[in-house]
Structure formats: C-alpha cells, structure tokens
Amino acid sequence: MDLGLSGARVAVTGASRGIGRAIARVFADEGADLAICARTPEPLAEAAGELEAAGARVFSRALDVTDHDALPSFVDDAAAELGGLDVLVSNVSGGSSPTPDQWERGFSTDLMPFVRLTEAAERHLRASERGGAVVLVSTTSALHATAPAGPRSYGAVKAALNHHASSLARAWAGRGVRVNTVSPGPIEFPGGGWERRRENDPEFYESIRGRIPYGRLGRPEEVARAVVFLASPAATFITGQNLVVDGAFLDRI
C-alpha cells in the first residue's frame, strides 16, 4: 500500500533507539523527511545517519524532554528546516520504577512534553496541506492494572495522556488535525527494558511472555508500522482512537 507519505515532514521525539528509531525509519522508507530528537547525542547522530542513508532529509537535535522550554524551539526549528510540519509523533517515557520521585519524573518526562509539543505544533499542523496528524505512543499499562503495570506512576501518567490525546482529537478535528494513540504491549529490543528483565529477572519475563497469546514479545518495527499508518493519508477519517499493538496481551474487548 502506498501510504501517501512521500515528501511528508515528520517530527519524532525519542528517535535514537527502540520504538522511536523504528518509527523514524519506517517514515523514511515511505519517503518522508524527518526531524528527530533524543537526549544522548551519539545514538541520535547514528540514527540520523541511518535515515539519511535511506534517502530522508534529516534535522536532528540533542535535547532532554524534561527541558520543557526547549521543546517549542525544536518544533519551530524543525518546521523551518523542513518547510513545514505534517506529522508529530510523541514517543517519550520516564520509565516505570516504583520510587516516590517516579511520579514527579513521569509528570515531567511523559505528560508535560506531550502538552508542550502539541501546543507548539498546532499552528504548523493546521497549516499542513496534507492535513496534520499527531500520534502519541502510549502503553498497554495505561489500560490495565495488573503486571507489569501495578500501582506506580507509569500506567497512571500514560492513562492521563490517553485522555488528553482523545480530548485533543475532538477539539482539533474541525481544524483538520487528527490525533491518535498507539499503545504497545511488552516490546523487546537490544538495550531495552524487557531485554534487561529477561537477563536479570527471567521468572518475571517468562510470566509476562506466557500471558501473550501470540507467544512472544513484540518488536519495535511492529509498533512503528501502526504509528506510520495512523499518521498517513491512508487513515484520514481515523481520529481519537487508541490502537493496541500487543499480540492479544490485554484481555478486554
């Protein structure tokens, strides 16, 4: 299927590794140009080089999303470099440890970056001749309370983000901007949290893997393809939705 993304101008946060990097690569393979950011310069530069090798024009900036004042500048500079902005993908996470400060970290690393990014991107997305699109990368931990979610900040903060994204979808629909969410289940990749769990807590890892009817954890590219579809003109009448990508991990309708 031609997703109609050739020449699209796309910003992706957290794009140096894992799901974010896979998302940027699928966009590049579809012919889009990219603005990417991440906290650590070295893997970000490596990701930018990979995207350029795939034929994309790339604007990259190392920044920490907890520096909330830096996010509007990234969006505006990305739009200036790419000649506009058609798609924003918010892919950041503060992790899921149960320590008390994790609640403040989740607010600063997950919730407020999405708020600041969407505030800054709105005028650019409204000006898109293609029709603007926002995709929030969330998690199945926002949709259930059992392991690996539990009584900690990660799922609760992501649930708040899901609510805000759904509200934005309804507020922005008349402005020609779509907002959707993708909620991955457990996703494994080199250097990621589930690889560490497999090595350091194999009993817990196997307990989660055993609850996935598909028989394995997901892969970043499987999430990426869902994100890119929702951001593309192939999904022009889809907004306010939360697409779960989890191998049937969640037991719900």
**pLDDT-based confidence at residue 130 (cuts at 50, 70, 90):** very high
Pseudo-torsion of CA 16, 78, 74, 15, nearest 10°?
Answer: -10
Identify whether 117 is part of a domain.
yes
Identify whether 250 is part of a domain.
no
Nearest-angstrom CA–CA distance, 15 and 26: 12
Identify whether 4 is part of a domain.
no
Q: Report the chain's mean pLDDT, rounded to a whole number.
A: 95
Known active-site residue 205: no
pTM: 0.96
The tens digit of pLDDT for each residue in 203-220 reads: 999 999 999 999 999 999
Interacting residues of 250 by C-beta distance below 8 A, sequence separation 6+: 140, 143, 144, 185, 244
Higher-confidence residue: 99 or 36? 36
Confidence at residue 96, expressed as pLDDT on a 0 to 100 scale: 54
Give the CATH number, domain containing residue 140.
3.40.50.720
Residue pair 187/227 in contact (Cβ under 8 Å)? The answer is: no
The tens digit of pLDDT for each residue in 97-128 reads: 556 688 888 999 999 999 999 999 999 999 99
Identify whether 70 is part of a domain.
yes
Identify whether 163 is part of a domain.
yes
Choose the catalytic residue: 27, 114, 154, 189. 154
Structural domain containing residue 129: 9-244
The number of domains in the chain is: 1
